[in-house]
Amino acid sequence: MTGQATHPLDPLTSAEIEEVARLVAGADGYTPRWRFVAISLAESDKAALRAWESGAAPRPPRRAVVVIRDKTLKRTLELAVNLDETAVVALVEVPGVQPAVMREESLAAERLAREDSRWQAALRRRGIADPAVAMLDHMPLGYQDAADGPQTRLGIALTWVRSGPPPGEGEEVSWEDDNGYASPVEGLIVYFDLDEMTILRVEDEPGPPIPELRGNADPEAIVDPRNVPHFPDGTRTSTKPIAIAQPNGPSFTVDGWAVRWEKWALRVGFNIREGLVLHEVGYEDRRRLRRILHRAALSEMFVPYGDPGRTHFRKQLFDEGEAGIGRCVNSLRLGCDCLGEIHYFDAVIHDNDGVPRSLPNAICMHEEDYGIGWKHTNLRTDRPESRRRRRLVISTLATVGNYDYGFFWYLYQDGTIEYEVKLTGTLSTGAFAIGDRPIYGTAIAPGLYAPNHQHWFNVRLHMDVDGGGNSLVEVNSAPVTDPEVNFFGGAWTANATVITREHDARRDIEPRTARYWRVENPSAVNALGQAASYALFPGHNAFHLYLDDAPALKRAAFIRHHLWATAYRQGELHAAGPYPNQHPGGAGLPHWTKGNAPLEDADLVVWYSFVAHHIPRPEDWPIMPVAYAGFELRPFAFFDGNPALDVAPEPHACHAGR
């Protein structure tokens, strides 16, 4: 077929998505009420790719997997499509699950609520005569009561109020860009059956007054006197321009989705659920490309709120499994979201009819200066030697409701890999009576508070250190307890323990012992006889705060531990399982590790969970300054010495004097 990708790991093209939708429309039982939740590449496994790359086998077949919601029979289907054969080769029903919520469902639910007399009456009771100024956010159910019924496809909507004409002015002003999160409507919740697209009930409980001050970050919005005065002196004028120029162009090369930079080689990928994916990451050492990662991607996000208020306790959101990061990705703008010599990758997503939609500039790639890479001054000769550090940045930004997330992979010249999430956007808010004090959050404006919450991320790392069997090792530092050895009290050792089974690999951070983990290839050693490895160093992290029997913790069981490890099994991609929406719990990592498979010298997958623990501040309002969370993968005995020693000095970069 035309428009087909050239490599087995290339994301699906528009033409391929169209072909998949056409083939599914011809499948047995198809009706126009089948909705395309996700059309994704069915990636070939590592063994098949290696055989093809070595010339020992033909190219793996180009396949897609399709998740369908059958609105008529209220069932979820999975179909396998072979694009080489232009045929649906499998169709199975997945009983008892709810797939991700589609954008079209959310928009239809909002339209339905706006027409509902009960919702309109609830607004009038709060003094809102024009329902057009209200803003509804549809979201998955989160916490589920037994009375809601597990088989009903459920959703809820919360209500906020945007600004209308300012007081004393007769002419209308647009409220489309107004920050409605400044004015939450407490106690008003609409419940939906998303298959039937009907309203099940409208909860309307008395609550505190709707806050009146606005929370707009646009300086032009301060013409509304109700806008919080965040610009008392106007927009600052002291900032001088910074110009980033690479007159000879960037140091990377791109061939389709394949990237080479410095000594790095990798493939970039994208899908509607995970968004950005990295494939086949390797580093060239002595003219030999050494493998490090077979596949790396965000496997799940979970955002639980710690407020028991009626409007807030259902905010237990799986932003990836219930919404899809890929479908929420922004089209990036040069000079705003990315700066410098940029290469953009366009992505393709689709609607619930299977119609593809191009997403220009979905992935940004550029180089950044990152300060000193290494430096030493010989005090005997007063001669300094230093090198700048540079990194390759591959990133996407996604808007999920009120929050905006940046997902960044960094590759460094010294072989380090870093993953970082940047959190910004606007807070999900609640109202309180002026004179009271919010118990479960922080006051951020008069009568307005932001609940305490966490943002959990799990990254799946299919390791491939030196392309062979890998083992997991935990390292803890501890003082020497023998007083005859530790006579001065400061002796300590770093103690390595091989983790042999999946159950033992459920591990937590431990700052008191500087705990980290290494993935070793026992069959590959450096010049010192040490096993080649990559070490996972935790960054900022914390623990969950759920009671042990909390329903959401059963669905998000991956947050019980920061580290999990599994022997590779095809199809195990998402920490909370493929269908976390309304799931009773136990799917994903808890289920996959029940067999307690051996991990030594294995095809190893490491799953790392980290959290942004958010106690909101007034400084987070109205738009939150970027917060950061992530981790590093550093080479440990993978090389014989500093692999960035050969970085050339920057020409004309060091100057004597001022």
Catalytic residue numbers read 319, 403
Question: Is the distance from CB of 325 to CB of 398 less than 8 angstroms?
Answer: yes
CA distance 181 to 433: 17
Buried b (16+ CB within 10 A) or exposed e, 483-521: eeeeeeeeeeeeeeeebeebeebbbebeeebebbbbbbb
For 645: left if phi > 0, alpha if psi spans -120 to 50, otherwise beta; the answer is: alpha
The token pair at 554 is: 């059963």
Residue spans of beta strands (DSSP E) within 379-447:
383-400, 403-412, 417-425, 430-431, 441-445
CA distance 23 to 657: 70
- 28, 37, 90, 102: which is closest to 63 by C-alpha? 90
Distances (CA, A) of 44 to 48, 63, 96, 245, 454: 6, 8, 28, 40, 35
Determine if the peptide bond prior to 206 is cis (ω within 30°).
no
HEC assignment per residue over 240-282: CCCCCCCCCCCCEEEECCEEEECCEEEEEEEECCCEEEEEEEE
3-class state of residue 437 by DSSP? coil
Q: How many C-beta atoms lie closer than 10 Å to residue 563's C-beta?
A: 21
CA distance 162 to 159: 10
The token pair at 30 is: 């198809």
CA distance 577 to 555: 9
- 397, 427, 395: which is closest to 328 by C-alpha? 397
214-217 own/partner pairs: CB under 8 Å, 24+ apart: 214/163, 214/178, 214/179, 214/182, 215/179, 215/181, 215/182, 215/426, 215/445, 215/448, 215/621, 215/622, 216/177, 216/178, 216/179, 216/182, 216/622, 217/179, 217/622, 217/623
The token pair at 524 is: 């590959």
Phi, psi of 58 (to 5 degrees): -70, 170
Residue spans of beta strands (DSSP E) within 56-96:
63-70, 75-82, 87-93
> Which of the 8 DSSP states describes residue 320?
I
CA distance 324 to 34: 19
Question: Is the distance from CB of 66 to CB of 79 less than 8 angstroms?
Answer: yes
Question: Is the sign of the CA dihedral 33, 85, 360, 297 positive or negative?
Answer: positive
Q: Where are the alpha helices (DSSP H) in 302-357?
A: 325-328
3-class state of residue 430 by DSSP? strand
Q: How many C-beta atoms lie closer than 10 Å to residue 653's C-beta?
A: 10
With residues binned 3-state (H G I as helix, E B as strand, rest as coil), the percentages for the chain, rounded to 5, are: 15, 40, 45
Report the C-alpha dihedral over residues 647, 652, 654, 658, rounded to 10 degrees. -160
